[in-house]
Amino acid sequence: MTLWAAFALIAIGILAVYLEFFVPAFGVIGIGGILMIIATVFFAYRDLPDLQATIILLTALFVTPTAIIFLLRRFPKSFLGRRLILRTQLTPEPPSQRDGTGSEPTTLVGMRGTTLTPLHPSGLALIAGSRYSVVTNGEYLEQATPVVITQHFGSRIVVRRAPTDVDTNTDSNTANRKEPNASTPEGGSHDD
């Protein structure tokens, strides 16, 4: 093996490692390139004088990572890189927004509706005049149960049973209390 043959084998090994980044070969090409570089250093120490073998070793240790980093940084500006890399930037939508038209509310949390099917734990609900696929947190809800949306992540809508409004009117609270019997004083009973 000559000094120039060793440099050529190192260059081929570097190109193989570089190619592994772009060809789906499950590491076969990259591992082959690394093994080629290691074998080149081994054969250089066997066949060449020590000074030249050390130059090959230093080349393998320092030039290989430097060349790979340089090639990877240069790739986006290359002929092939400009055709493979997407240049347009996509702006992310909020996860709760269904489409970019603005016709849907950006969040459904807090909205109320009614189940169209039994939810055990998933099913359909009618919310704001639209049918939605909804889930509960594990509870079973019958059909036509009022629900409220608690979480909304993209297309996943989590609901729970809507709390029933408690009547706080004092007249209805007093009407439900037992009135003392008017025939007895202080509501007591006569045991005479």
- pLDDT tens digits for 102-138? 444 457 888 999 999 998 888 999 998 889 999 998 8
CA dihedral angle for residue 65, residue 68, residue 69, residue 73, rounded to 10 degrees:
170
ω into 121 cis (within 30 of 0): yes
Mean pLDDT, residues 80-94? 72
With a threshold of 0.75, does the pTM exceed it?
no
Q: Which top CATH class is 112-161?
A: mainly beta
Q: Which two tokens stand for residue 105?
A: 């509310």
CA of 12: how far to CAs of 4, 7, 36, 56, 152, in Å? Answer: 12, 9, 8, 14, 54
Confidence (pLDDT) at 178: 47
Rg (CA), the chain: 38
Domain limits, the chain: 3-83, 112-161
Mean pLDDT, residues 166-185? 47
